[in-house]
Amino acid sequence: MNWWHRVWQRWRMEDELDAELRFHFDHLVSDYLALGVSKEEARRRASAEFGGIEELRDACRDARGTRWVHDFAQDVRFSARLLSKERAFTLVAVLTLSLGIGVNNTLFSIVNALCLHGLPIEKPDRVVDIAARDERGRARPLSRREFDDLQGGQSHALEGVAAYVNRPATLRDQAVPAERINLSYISANALSLIRQQPFLGRDFRSDGDRPGRAAVVLLGGTLWRTRYSADPGIVGKFVTIDGRPTTVVGVMPEDFKFPDNADAWQPLSALDTPKDARILRSFARLAHEGTLAQAQDNITSILQRQSQSSTRTIPGGAIVMSINERYMSRITDPAWLAFITAGLLLVLIACSNVANLLLARGVRRGHEIAIRLSLGATRSRIVRQLLVESAMLAAVGGVVALAISIAGLKLFAAAIPEGGLPYWVRLTIDARVIVVLVIVCMGTVLLSGVAPALQLARTNLNLTMKEAANNVSTSRGARRWTWVFLTLQLALTVIMLSGLGITVQSFYLLQHRGPQIDAKHILTFGITLPSETYRASEQRLAFYRSLRERVTGVGQAVAVSVANALPASGGQPREVIPNDRDRSASVPVRVILIDDAYFTALGLPLLAGRSFTPAEGASGRMSIIVNQRFAEMFLPRAEAVGQRVRLRAAPGSPNPADEIGTVVGVAPSLRRQPTLEPDPLMYLPLPPSAMSTVVVLVRAKDEPSSLASSVREAARQIDPNVPLYRVMTLEDANWEARWNARVSAGIISTLAFIALALATVGLAALTAHAVAQRSRELGIRLALGAERKEVVLLVLRRVLVQVAVGLIFGAIGAKAWERIFGGAGLTTAANLATVSLLVVFVTVGVSAWPAARAARIDPLLMLRDQ
Amino acid sequence: MASPKSDLPQGTLDMLILQVVALEPIHGYAIAQRIRQISRDVVQVPQGSLYPALHRLENRKVLVAEWKQSETGRDAKYYRLTPRGRAYLKSEAESWERLSGAIRLILREARGTSR
């Protein structure tokens, strides 16, 4: 019989043991009978020789190694009975644990979805992302020429190489107005390499990668459902994409939006671009026995061979990495580490709280434990039983925590605007999350249960038995532990609150300090010009010009501006070289391309200098408008206008030399996101390279919502193929652009408030407990003439000392956090002072209640009771 | 009840049991009898030590047991050595031989010098 059988078939074991012993016994009896004694005498002698049968059975059970299982079952039953009897304690402990574990589990589920889960591709670890490496080791897209070489390069380590380019496009057909879609141009083999098949129709494999074929498109499931009401006969029908009649050849499943939330796909061959433009993102699947290292070698050698024959390539070779690594957020980023740490700290706070509850309860149980010890229970058995109690609390807490984290994930998902996250992010509870949940629950048993259990099992038998049952004084050890746990809790609360402090501060600054835009009265929308019909920069500029003219004429519109990014989001980073003498160092600064009316449309007067002129940028000299913050950070002289700014060549620009611009104006520093300091910004004129995707800002006299339809009409009159998208007030656009900050603020305030609540409840409960314990002493003091006020102060003094120590450790902890994870402003005097005041106010305020009860002790009653 | 441990050095009971079981599959009662007979009544193994030892050895997979009909016709639990048990017995017996040889040597030498 193996171990499991022995555990589950205990009755059978017992039967066999009995049979075995009886066999022996009967033999002994017959041995004695053979000596000629009477039957009774034989049985008596056999029994005497056999000894205590129960002891023997027990020894055999011990020897079998299954005993602890049955002991464990007994412990579970006993603990369940105890915990269900002490409802208040159990409720508080379970609630505390489930809040801590639940919030932590929610955070981990988010980390799991963004950093660990990865793309829904078959065997994603066999799919690698390929990029060219530039002189400075950065990843750059491939050119068409390089991609062709890779495809023709016959690398035995790779099953195949695919590429894609994402471009917004305009989709039009007879029925519905034109719509802007995220189109992805993919090489013919791309879908088969990631093992994805269309849900209807066929993929591009038969089209090949040669240009000049008839235009075809694969529709995404969502587009098919919303725009074509899931028409099953869609395959073979014609739609117009960027003005070209295109045949629908298939429909992809609805949850497939590879690579970046694509709505539809066209073959790469449909994209007509220069051979040397670095626009292709590339990936490959490793061949059956190929390794990443081989792929890296192969691809590097192919790219380098080619770079000798062409001057337009970069010599650094290739960067090949797992596609998940390229797409997923890096869990080792300080921001994610901080995220995870914050969750674990909350678990730690919950554990400290439960540990303190257990310690306080232990004092009440000292008598029970002493009795059990004196009846012969071993200390290890007592510790085991106490740990089983903790484990049961953690188990129930874990189940509630699971419910909390499901709700938390729902809340998180609801706070994210559509398209805010990559399509492959699944905010669900998967096996990994469950495993981590179980591990965290086990961790809480260790953290919250071990110290109280050991403390309680050390109960001094003699002392405890002598004292009255409900007046057992806390041992010094228990008090020390309580003190440590409370300090820890308060300190961690201070760290979280100081995080909340900067968040509140930065949101306040965003809304009430610095220049403000009247965002309610500005309408914004996006435009993407079809690349087929608007090839040249002049064509695009002409469209924007006529759009501005027409819209300005419409009803309420006061000013119209075209730019490449909204005030709160977007803009390309450019490298600014702040020091002319050391040109190796550079700082990334966001650049927004704007026209001459931008600041008028925002209603934001410049602080110095002038706006761009309508002809700005055409001359070849680069004019720059910087914001005040930029001037403070990078411009040495007080007078910003007229100073020069050196920029590194834009990535992908044909001319690698630095560019030098002259500051012509200084704009006020708008905060884009809730931050303590506004970001430095540069504005460059739109014209020289007017892009095909822009945003338009229309300033209205009042309510801009009535403007929307007339603006649409104006655009339709210029070109019906150009749809407007994301039409909304600037206020709404800002709200969407700041979702990330808002969600972070939601998370940090949840953490901070739970931490504060737990610490407060913990402190108050312990104060109440201390008052109950000291009631006799306090009663005597009152009887001897102490004033009630003095008694209250006596109790509160301890609370104050405890809080003060917690605050000191909290400040040290916040400093450490700032060191490790960053987070400027965390430990400014003002922030820490505010947090400390809040903590003192709340904790002392709540603890005053049990303290006041101490003053109401009736000395006569108290002394008579004893 | 006379304590067996005062008679048998610690750890030797397991070895004796294994040695007896090594001869043939055998039940608990017979093991006790056999040890007593072979040692000419010097070593008596009480049930209170025998059965826990058997169960412990079974748990350690040194012995396996099965129920078989005994010579008297009743079902009895027969113990048998596993290959692991055989190896264990061999190493135990060897180290016992070494130790007892050494003890004998010391006793003889010490007696020689004291004379």
**Statement: residue A374 has pLDDT above 60:** yes
A416 touching B (Cβ < 8 Å):
no
Average pLDDT of the residues of chain A: 86
* Residues A228-246: tens digit of each pLDDT: 888 899 898 899 888 888 9
Over residues A107-131, the mean pLDDT reads 90
**pLDDT for residue A460:** 67
Segment 1-20 of chain A within 8 Å of chain B by CB: 16-17, 19-20
Question: Cα separation of A793 and A822, whole Å?
Answer: 40
What is the β-pairing status of strands A127-133 and A278-286?
antiparallel
Q: Contact at 8 Å (CB) between A141 and A270?
A: no
B8 touching A (Cβ < 8 Å):
no
CB neighbour list of residue A308: distance below 8 Å, 6 or more residues apart: none
Residue B90 falls inside a structural domain: yes
Q: Which two tokens stand for residue B21?
A: 């079981």
Greater confidence (A546 vs A854) lies with A546
Bridge partners of A592? A683
Over residues A591-601, the mean pLDDT reads 92
**pLDDT for residue B5:** 39
* Residues A437-460: tens digit of each pLDDT: 999 999 999 988 888 888 887 776
Is the CB of A51 less than 8 angstroms away from the CB of B47? yes
Sorting pLDDT into bands at 50, 70 and 90, what band is A474? low
* Three-state secondary structure call for residue A222: helix
* Residues A277-334: tens digit of each pLDDT: 888 999 999 988 888 888 888 888 888 776 665 555 566 678 889 988 888 888 888 8
Segment 21-50 of chain A within 8 Å of chain B by CB: 21, 23-24, 26-28, 49-50
Residue B2 falls inside a structural domain: no
**pLDDT for residue B4:** 42
Greater confidence (A273 vs A417) lies with A417
Is the CB of A60 less than 8 angstroms away from the CB of B51? yes
**Statement: residue A667 has pLDDT above 90:** yes
Sorting pLDDT into bands at 50, 70 and 90, what band is A152? confident
Residue B1 falls inside a structural domain: no
Residue B110 falls inside a structural domain: yes
Greater confidence (A207 vs B2) lies with A207
What percent of chain A is modeled with pLDDT above 90?
30
* Residues A16-74: tens digit of each pLDDT: 888 888 888 888 888 888 888 888 888 888 888 877 777 788 788 777 777 777 788 88
Is the CB of B46 less than 8 angstroms away from the CB of A64? no
Question: In total, how many domains does chain B have?
Answer: 1
Q: Which two tokens stand for residue A589?
A: 């600064």
**pLDDT for residue A307:** 62
Give residue for tokens 């040597």. Answer: B105
**pLDDT for residue A432:** 93
**pLDDT for residue A756:** 92
Is the CB of A28 less than 8 angstroms away from the CB of B29? yes
* Residues B6-33: tens digit of each pLDDT: 457 767 888 899 999 998 899 988 998 8
Quick one: A493 exposed, middle or buried, by C-beta within 10 A (0-12, 13-18, 19+)?
buried
* Residues B38-65: tens digit of each pLDDT: 888 888 888 888 888 888 888 888 899 8
**Statement: residue A162 has pLDDT above 70:** yes
Which stretch of DSSP H or E encloses residue A66? none
Question: Cα separation of A279 and A146, whole Å?
Answer: 11
Q: Contact at 8 Å (CB) between A250 and A235?
A: yes
Task: Write the secondary structure of A315-364 as one string of H (helix), E (strand) and C (coil).
Answer: CCCEEEEEHHHHHCCCCCCHHHHHHHHHHHHHHHHHHHHHHHHHHHHHHH
CB neighbour list of residue A43: distance below 8 Å, 6 or more residues apart: A29
ipTM of this predicted complex?
0.86
CB neighbour list of residue A619: distance below 8 Å, 6 or more residues apart: none
Q: Nearest to residue A487, comparing CAs of A709, A166, A802, A168?
A: A802
**pLDDT for residue A300:** 85
Residue B73 falls inside a structural domain: yes
**pLDDT for residue A251:** 94
What percent of chain B is modeled with pLDDT above 70?
90
Residue B40 falls inside a structural domain: yes
CB neighbour list of residue B67: distance below 8 Å, 6 or more residues apart: A16, B75, B76, B77, B78
**Statement: residue B36 has pLDDT above 50:** yes
**pLDDT for residue A469:** 44
* Residues A694-706: tens digit of each pLDDT: 999 999 887 777 7
B47 contact residues in A (CB cutoff 8 A):
21, 24, 49-51, 56
Segment 17-56 of chain B within 8 Å of chain A by CB: 27-29, 32, 46-48, 51-53, 55-56
* d(CA A2, nearest CA chain B) in Å: 9
**Statement: residue B93 has pLDDT above 80:** yes
Is the CB of A59 less than 8 angstroms away from the CB of B48? yes
Structural domain span for residue B43 = 12-114
Q: Contact at 8 Å (CB) between A614 and A544?
A: no
* Residues A80-102: tens digit of each pLDDT: 998 899 888 899 999 999 999 99
* Residues A503-519: tens digit of each pLDDT: 999 999 988 888 888 88
A212 touching B (Cβ < 8 Å):
no
Give residue for tokens 């055409």. Answer: A618
Name the phi and psi angles at A729, rounded to 5. Answer: -70, 155
**Statement: residue B89 has pLDDT above 50:** yes
Over residues A4-19, the mean pLDDT reads 76
Q: How far is CA A68 from CA A6, A12, A387, A392, in A?
A: 12, 18, 14, 17
Is the CB of B75 less than 8 angstroms away from the CB of A27? no
CATH number for position B47: 1.10.10.10
**pLDDT for residue A621:** 81
**pLDDT for residue A652:** 66
Q: Contact at 8 Å (CB) between A116 and A331?
A: yes
Comparing A559-573, A583-597, A842-856, the range with the smallest average pLDDT is A842-856
B27 contact residues in A (CB cutoff 8 A):
20, 23
Is the CB of A20 less than 8 angstroms away from the CB of B48? no
**Statement: residue A780 has pLDDT above 80:** yes
Quick one: A406 exposed, middle or buried, by C-beta within 10 A (0-12, 13-18, 19+)?
middle
Is the CB of B53 less than 8 angstroms away from the CB of A63? yes
Over residues A239-258, the mean pLDDT reads 89
What is the maximal distance between C-alpha atoms in chain A? Answer: 132
Q: Nearest to residue A112, comparing CAs of A423, A443, A404, A434?
A: A434
A63 contact residues in B (CB cutoff 8 A):
52-53, 55-56, 59
